[in-house]
């Protein structure tokens, strides 16, 4: 499986995106997605516009490689590794970092372990992910490949100012967790458990939270100058899966039509 943003320096986005080929043992070959003219498989249907994957993605990688050249691809990789280790160095000590080498360094990404905070403050990885939205960030990879963690992969494309902005947000969230650990704020009713905070919530005439609106929406000074407002507040992620509700018209309506 070729993860193109690593293998071929494709700009990040869409979870990679991934692109074939997929390797499998010979006895599984007849069951792989196929193509009516090019392969002999049990399932002859193609899964995308091209026989072996999303061909258009390869064009992006090809153009990127041609523009970067051999030296540029190497340089992009070096920047990605440098960026990841810079962020690791800033966060180390405040957060536990998993799977570093004997020098305490990482490759192009690193995993921040948030599991200790569940015991010390009843704060989970999801709470941190939601709170990052109040700081203007979409959360990094959540609970993969280790449950209760976030995996940070800055890539080669971000400048130092943006890396610092993200680190500052996480360090600020760590201070918010400390307030819970020190019993200075309620374990159930705090900025982490209630995140993200929408404009509707903050601008409402009624504010019954035990913390200020400023702490909810503008936890760091720079956010006031360029605020990204989450459009939806905290939702129960599993409720919809466990409580299926059909929103279709009654079948009688279709019969009459």
Cα 154 from Cα 163, distance rounded (Å): 8
| Residue/partner pairs of 233-237 with CB below 8 Å, 24 or more apart | 233/194, 233/196, 233/197, 233/198, 233/200, 233/201, 234/130, 234/193, 234/194, 234/195, 234/196, 237/126
User: Which pTM value belongs to this model?
Assistant: 0.81
Mapping DSSP to helix (H, G, I), strand (E, B) and coil, where does residue 113 land?
Answer: strand
The per-residue pLDDT string of the chain (257 residues; one tens digit each, 9 = 90 and over) reads 455 555 555 555 555 455 655 678 889 877 777 777 776 666 666 666 666 556 677 787 788 889 999 999 899 889 999 999 999 999 999 999 999 999 999 999 999 999 999 999 999 999 999 999 999 999 999 998 999 999 999 988 899 999 999 999 999 999 999 999 999 999 999 999 999 999 999 999 999 999 999 999 999 999 999 999 999 999 887 887 788 777 777 778 777 65
**Of 245, 41, 218, which Cα lies nearest the Cα of 136?**
218
From residue 44, how far is each of 1, 24, 151 by CA, in Å? Answer: 20, 17, 37
Domains of the chain with bracketed CATH: 2-81 (no CATH), 91-242 (3.90.1150.10)
The residue with tokens 């440098």 is 82
Structure tokens at 95: 């957060």
Please state, in angstroms and as integers, the Cα–Cα distance from residue 183 to each residue in 120, 129, 172, 176, 215, following that order.
10, 22, 17, 11, 17
């Amino acid at each position: 499986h070729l993860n193109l943003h690593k293998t071929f320096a494709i700009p990040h986005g869409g979870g990679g995106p991934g692109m074939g080929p997929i390797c499998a043992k010979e006895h599984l070959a007849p069951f792989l997605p196929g193509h009516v003219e090019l392969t002999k498989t049990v399932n002859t249907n193609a899964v995308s516009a091209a026989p072996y994957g999303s061909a258009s993605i390869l064009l992006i990688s090809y153009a990127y490689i041609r523009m970067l050249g051999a030296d540029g691809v190497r340089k992009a990789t070096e920047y990605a590794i440098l960026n990841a280790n810079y962020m690791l160095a800033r966060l180390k000590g405040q957060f536990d970092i998993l799977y570093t080498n004997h020098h305490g360094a990482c490759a192009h990404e690193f995993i921040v372990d948030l599991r200790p905070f569940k015991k010390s403050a009843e704060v989970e990885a999801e709470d941190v992910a939601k709170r990052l939205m109040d700081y203007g960030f979409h959360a990094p990879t959540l609970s993969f490949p280790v449950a209760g963690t976030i995996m940070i992969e800055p890539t080669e494309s971000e400048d130092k100012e943006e890396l610092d902005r993200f680190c500052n947000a996480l360090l600020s969230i760590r201070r918010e967790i400390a307030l819970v650990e020190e019993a200075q704020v309620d374990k159930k009713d705090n900025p982490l458990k209630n995140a993200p905070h929408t404009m509707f919530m903050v601008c409402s005439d009624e504010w019954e939270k035990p913390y200020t609106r400023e702490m909810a929406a503008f936890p760091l000074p720079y956010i006031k100058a360029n605020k990204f407002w989450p459009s939806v507040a905290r939702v129960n992620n599993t409720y919809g899966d466990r409580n299926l509700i059909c929103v279709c018209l009654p079948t009688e309506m279709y019969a009459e039509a």
